[in-house]
Amino acid sequence: MTQKDYKPVHTNKVGGSPFSGVLGWLDDRLPIFRMFKYEYLDFQVPRSLNYFWSFGGILMFCLLGLIITGLTLGMHYKPSAEDAFVSVEHIMRDVNSGWLLRYMHMNLASFFFIAVYLHIFRAMYFGSYKDPRQVMWLIGIIIFFLMVATAFLGYTLPWGQMSLWGATVITNLVSAIPVVGESIVHWLWGGYSVDDPTINRFYVLHWLLAFVILGIVILHVIALHIVGSNNPSGIEPKDTRDTVSFHPYTTMKDMFAMVVFFTIFAAFVFFMPNILGHPDNYIPANPMVTPAHIVPEWYFLPFYAILRAIPDKLGGVLAMVSAIGILALLPWLDRSKVRSLIFRPIQRQWFIIFVLNFMMLTWVGAMPAEGLYVLLGRIGTAYWFLYFLVIVPLNSTFEKPKPMPNSIHEYLEWKEQGKIKSVFKWMK
């Protein structure tokens, strides 16, 4: 066989960058700028998106802010039962702008959960968990579980009274697990009580889980860009009339939403930084003195109320975990072909009650476990599970939806004509 019988092999894939100059040269060899342009600037999104879809970007900024402020605080924090509380006071009083960093970190955690709850409720209302977005929804539930764990670990680190006793009560719940429960608790504690080894382990796990969350959030975003965004109509885009480029239309809307969100956040940081915390956490941890009323952070309160609603320890733990885990089953519990509750008036009413029930459980969780509060907690818990296991499946089977438009642009026309009625019609 002669040389001419062989075909040349072309291995050079350099080229095709939309940029020129140094940027184009680099992008040809490492196409990150091209990817950013195609996936975030030119990416087509439904033109009917409202401000509820801005919470995804808000959550990403919250997460990055928590990691950056946490990194700085961690440089001055001492993870030991003897020094933890003192090191936090040192940060507040002696470190340059330490008070600001700590208040930002504390309140960012609360605002992170506010944004997450709004993000979840939006997804439930507009059916963003339905086919083909089941995997994206499941990844989101995993993120929420990790958020809860990370926030709990972080809450113990200041080592105030509520940190110590909150950690003692919550970790003790694990002992309800048959056979292995006690061993897991002793491993978490690093001994036979919440003490120095505990805080060391919680500090490391708090840091580790923060970056695990960041990695899974990236997977969440990738899944979003594979299947595309849902929209208030619940109708998939059919042609170019239904979509707009992500930039500048959605970016400008997201930037405005972020300005409003973080302005409110700044008001909390500078004018009422401790309003979402508990005053007992400014008292050094003392294992010999039990607080009159042990409560977790406000964002745990609904699930804490569910925990207390069950008189059995193991049953309470299972109910609390299941209250979050049942969200993962929602794509299969809701069998309706219609995504958005705008066109499902009966289910919409049940959903509004569900949100009000969530608020009631939050309030009940902050109250003592006695009298009327126990009864309200049990009613709220019953409705929580009835909503997912009974109401959603039945309504998805028997409810007759309202007439729907054929496309997103027709949906927008109906909306302008006043044919669309929604509890979120003010959310442009």
Q: Is 253 a catalytic residue?
A: yes
Q: Which of 27, 242, 254, 334 is catalytic?
A: 254
- Phi then psi for residue 244, to 5 deg, are -135, 160
Q: Which of 229, 233, 336, 340 is catalytic?
A: 229
With 0-12 / 13-18 / 19 or more C-beta atoms within 10 angstroms meaning exposed / middle / buried, residue 75 is exposed
CA angle 75, 79, 85 (to 5 degrees): 95
- Distance CA(13)–CA(15), nearest Å, equals 6
- Distance CA(1)–CA(251), nearest Å, equals 60
Cβ atoms of 364 and 195 within 8 Å: the answer is no
Amino acid present at 99: W
Q: Is 254 a catalytic residue?
A: yes
Nearest residue to 278 (alpha-carbon basis) of 263, 268, 291: 291
Q: Which of 78, 186, 253, 313 is catalytic?
A: 253
Nearest residue to 69 (alpha-carbon basis) of 92, 96, 103, 94: 103
Nearest residue to 155 (alpha-carbon basis) of 298, 364, 293: 298
- Distance CA(20)–CA(24), nearest Å, equals 4
What residues are paired with 284 via a beta bridge? 160
Q: Which of 225, 238, 337, 421 is catalytic?
A: 225
Q: Is 413 a catalytic residue?
A: no
Q: Which of 130, 297, 334, 415 is catalytic?
A: 297
**Residues forming the active site:** 225, 229, 253-254, 297
